[in-house]
Amino acid sequence: MKRKMPFWLPIVAAMLSFPTPIAAQADSLPPAWIYKGSASITFSQVSYSNWVAGGENAYALNSNIDLSANYARGKNEWENNLKLGYGFSWQESIKRKQNTLDVIDLSSKYGRKASERWLYTVLLGFKTQFDKGYASAKDTAKSSDFLSPAYLTLSVGMDYKNKGFSMFVSPVSGKMTMVNSPYLSSMGMFGVDSGRVVRMELGGLLKLGYEKNFWEERVRLKTTLELFSNYMEHPENVDVDWNFALDFKLGKGFSAQLMLRALYDDDARVSVDNGDGTSRKVAKLQFREFVGLGLAYSFDTSKR
Higher per-residue confidence, 135 vs 127:
127
What pLDDT does residue 3 have? 54
What pLDDT does residue 17 have? 45
What pLDDT does residue 20 have? 46
What pLDDT does residue 303 have? 76
pLDDT digits (tens, 9 = 90+) for 254-263: 999 999 999 9
Q: Which of 75-84, 152-161, 238-247, 295-304 has the lowest mean pLDDT?
A: 295-304
- The pLDDT mean for the chain works out to 87
| Stated length of the chain | 304
**H runs (alpha helix) in the chain:** 9-17, 21-28, 182-186
Higher per-residue confidence, 185 vs 273:
185
Mean pLDDT, to the nearest integer, of 116-135?
A: 95
Q: Which of 145-159, 211-225, 226-240, 273-287 has the lowest mean pLDDT?
A: 273-287
pLDDT(225) > 70? yes
pLDDT digits (tens, 9 = 90+) for 168-192: 999 999 999 999 999 999 999 999 9
Q: Domains of the chain by range and CATH?
A: 11-303 (2.40.230)
Long-range contacts of 211-218 (CB under 8 A, 24+ apart): 211/164, 212/164, 217/249, 218/248, 218/249
pLDDT band at 275 (very low <50, low <70, confident <90, very high): confident
What pLDDT does residue 6 have? 54
What pLDDT does residue 27 have? 53
What pLDDT does residue 11 have? 47
Q: Which of 19-28, 147-156, 235-244 has the lowest mean pLDDT?
A: 19-28
Instruction: Give the C-alpha distances (Å, rounded to integers) separating 209 from 34, 165, 166, 169, 235.
Output: 18, 6, 5, 12, 23
What pLDDT does residue 140 have? 84
Instruction: Give the C-alpha distances (Å, rounded to integers) separating 97 from 56, 63, 90, 147, 266.
Output: 14, 15, 4, 20, 28
Mean pLDDT, to the nearest integer, of 189-199?
A: 93
Query: What percentage of the chain reaches a pLDDT higher than 70?
Result: 88
What pLDDT does residue 93 have? 78
pLDDT band at 244 (very low <50, low <70, confident <90, very high): very high
